[in-house]
């Protein structure tokens, strides 16, 4: 029965998305409740899958009962079980938040459409993480990028249309580039299944090194465009800053990470470390990661709009993840996978609390935060926790990931990367700290320093607080997550 859960999760999410257009006659509150129940069900079932995989080991699922040589296959390993749980857990929190925030951002007639898109988005992300088939990954990627584009443009303003169009064009280039890579791999191996293709690549790569390099180049560039890895990031700040706040959180904390999971699968499960090092791929990854870490932060320093700043900060943080991958060691990968989780939580907390400022005060400009800590103490506190996590202060999950990354860099004997890591940390502090200092230590324009209770609606406040608590808890007890991540890394490197 457990073997059926992955496909049932997908079917449940897709069916919910399709049923929403029929619910126009029922009050929207009921629809939202049903959606929440569905997400909770999927959350529980992903949790079951994770526990099952942990005790019984990974399992395969063949769609239609066809063997893996011709059919589509799901591979539910500890990696996919853990990251689907991560996607759905954050997705549920953001869903709860969006149920109120959406009133501020989206026209009433688009509510249903927004949730249809949200569920298809979650559906395609789960599919990407579960699937063990290169072409099936491409299909889910297309679904994901088209829904992302619509969820950006749902606000119906000129800015959103521009951002969404730019997103669509660049991501289409990315998708096709990935597809071209898949075609070249298929040409060499004759398989689309990752396991089978990996086996034949191991045997024949000496004969076709150029083919493998070109295929890998196309695939890495395709995924990099979608994951906004520097220098392919130009769509991200516009898209993430104009989208409704809940969607920005979703895009920045989960969607971008899913593409990095594709990259990890392609690099480590399809090609394997030995071939990558023989072909000199890690050096290129290190260069783009290191430059992204610095340049994302430098751009973020110059921003005047809070959400744009958070967007550029994402580019820098994705650089950290890619740096961890490029070290090609078990320590580096552990740091990278841990940072996917920890950055997901921190960026979601930052975007959701930024959405709270916009919801209550219509405050987007970075220099307008004076004294906001007195009017919105809870969301500002969570914003500060997440911001401190981005800088890497002990006690937050960000510290653990930076610490692990530092250890991995030292283990690889590349001290100049450590310098870049520290410089990027200092730059992070330079743009996150002033906001916190202004909010808590400066007077607001009305000279009103009276502490108020937060006026934010409860459904918006609860996800923010939960995320803040999770950041601190993971920072204090990292081993709760680390055991899963280490098992996943052991699986990837085996």
CA distance 335 to 317: 12
Give the nearer residue to other proteins in terms of CB position, either 20 or 372: 20
Q: Which is nearer to other proteins, 59 or 284 (CB)?
A: 59
The answer to whether residue 157 forms part of the interface with other proteins (CB under 8 A) is no
Applying the rule CB under 8 A, the residues between 276 and 305 that interact with other proteins are none
Question: Do 351 and 249 meet the contact criterion of CB atoms below 8 Å apart?
Answer: yes
CB of 22 to other proteins, least distance (A): 7
Any contact of residue 8 with other proteins (CB under 8 A)?
A: yes
Main-chain phi, psi angles of 303, to 5 degrees: -85, 150
Give the residue with the Cβ less far from other proteins, 161 or 284: 161
Dihedral pair phi/psi, residue 365, rounded to 5°? -75, 140
Q: Which two tokens stand for residue 53?
A: 């995989």
The DSSP-derived string for 160-217 is: HHHHHHHHHHHHHHHHHHHHHHHHHHHHHHS--BHHHHHHHHHHHTTT-HHHHHHHHH
Residue 11 contacts other proteins per CB under 8 A: yes
Phi, then psi, of 452 in degrees rounded to 5: -110, 160
For residue 90 the two structure tokens come to 């954050």
What is the rounded distance in angstroms from the CA atom of residue 123 to the CA atom of residue 17? 9
**54-83 mask for other proteins (x: CB under 8 A)?**
-------xxxxx------------------
Nearer to other proteins, 1 or 207 (CB): 1
Query: Phi and psi (nearest 5°) for 443?
Result: -75, 150
Nearer to other proteins, 62 or 361 (CB): 62
Least distance CB 171 / other proteins (angstroms): 20
Question: Does residue 21 belong to the site contacting other proteins (CB under 8 A)?
Answer: yes
Residue 120 vs 405, nearer CB to other proteins: 120
Q: Compute the least distance from the CB of residue 195 to other proteins, in Å.
A: 18
Residues sharing a CB contact under 8 Å with residue 276, sequence separation 6 or more, in sequence order: 267, 282, 328
Distances (CA, A) of 286 to 235, 411, 445, 492: 22, 15, 46, 19
Task: CB nearer to other proteins: give 143 or 382.
Answer: 143
Confirm or reject binding of residue 19 to other proteins (CB under 8 A).
yes
Single residue of 2, 9, 18, 454 touching other proteins by CB under 8 A: 18
- Considering the complex, what minimum distance in angstroms separates the CB of residue 18 from other proteins? 4
Q: How far is the CB of 7 from other proteins (least distance, A)?
A: 5
Residues touching other proteins, count (CB under 8 A): 16
Judged by beta carbon, residue 71 or residue 434, the one nearer other proteins is: 71
Binder of other proteins out of 9, 13, 14, 216 (CB under 8 A): 14
Contact call for residue 362 and other proteins (CB under 8 A): no
User: Do 236 and 311 contact (CB within 8 A), yes or no?
Assistant: yes
User: CA–CA distance from 483 to each of 78, 322, 328, 343, 397 (Å)?
Assistant: 11, 21, 19, 18, 15
- Contacting residue, 2, 7, 462, 473, with other proteins by CB under 8 A: 7
3-state secondary structure of 313: helix
22 binds other proteins (CB under 8 A): yes
Binding site for other proteins (CB under 8 A): 3-4, 7-8, 11, 14-15, 18-19, 21-22, 61-65
């Amino acid at each position: 029965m457990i073997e059926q859960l992955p496909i049932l999760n997908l079917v449940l999410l897709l069916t919910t998305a399709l049923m929403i257009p029929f619910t126009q006659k029922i009050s929207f509150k009921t629809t939202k409740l049903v959606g929440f129940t569905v997400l909770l069900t999927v959350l529980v079932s992903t949790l079951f899958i994770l526990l099952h995989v942990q005790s019984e080991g990974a399992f395969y699922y063949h769609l239609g009962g066809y063997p893996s040589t011709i059919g589509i296959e799901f591979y539910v390993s500890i990696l996919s079980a853990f990251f689907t749980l991560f996607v759905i857990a954050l997705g549920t929190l953001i869903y709860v938040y969006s149920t109120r925030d959406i009133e501020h951002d989206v026209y009433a007639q688009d509510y249903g459409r927004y949730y249809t898109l949200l569920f298809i988005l979650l559906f395609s992300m789960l599919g990407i993480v579960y699937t063990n088939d290169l072409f099936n990954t491409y299909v889910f990627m297309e679904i994901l990028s088209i829904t992302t584009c619509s969820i950006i443009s749902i606000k119906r303003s000129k800015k959103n249309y521009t951002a969404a169009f730019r997103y669509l064009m660049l991501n289409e280039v990315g998708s096709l580039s990935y597809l071209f890579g898949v075609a070249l791999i298929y040409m060499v191996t004759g398989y689309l299944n990752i396991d089978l293709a990996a086996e034949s690549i191991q045997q024949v790569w000496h004969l076709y090194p150029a083919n493998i390099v070109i295929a890998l180049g196309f695939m890495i560039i395709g995924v990099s465009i979608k994951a906004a890895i520097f220098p392919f990031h130009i769509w991200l700040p516009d898209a993430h800053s104009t989208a409704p706040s809940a969607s920005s959180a979703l895009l920045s904390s989960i969607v971008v990470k899913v593409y990095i999971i594709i990259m990890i699968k392609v690099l480590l499960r399809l090609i394997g470390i030995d071939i990558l090092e023989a072909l000199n791929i890690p050096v290129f990854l290190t260069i783009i990661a290191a430059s992204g870490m610095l340049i994302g932060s430098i751009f973020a320093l110059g921003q005047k709009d809070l959400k744009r700043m958070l967007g550029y900060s994402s580019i820098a943080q994705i650089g950290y993840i890619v740096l961890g991958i490029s070290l090609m060691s078990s320590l580096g990968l552990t740091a990278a996978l841990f940072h996917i989780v920890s950055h997901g939580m921190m960026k979601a907390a930052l975007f959701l609390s930024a959405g709270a400022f916009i919801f209550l005060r219509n405050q987007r400009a970075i220099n307008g935060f004076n004294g906001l800590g007195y009017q919105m103490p809870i969301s500002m506190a969570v914003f500060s926790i997440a911001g401190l996590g981005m800088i890497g202060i002990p006690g937050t999950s960000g510290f653990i990931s930076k610490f692990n990354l530092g250890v991995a860099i030292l283990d690889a004997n590349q001290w100049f990367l450590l310098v870049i890591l520290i410089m990027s940390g200092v730059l992070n502090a330079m743009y996150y700290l002033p906001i916190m200092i202004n909010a808590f230590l400066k007077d607001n324009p009305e000279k009103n320093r009276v502490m108020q209770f937060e006026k934010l609606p409860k459904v918006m406040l609860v996800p923010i607080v939960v995320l803040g608590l999770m950041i601190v808890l993971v920072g204090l007890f990292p081993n709760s997550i680390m055991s899963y991540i280490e098992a996943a890394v052991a699986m990837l490197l085996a």
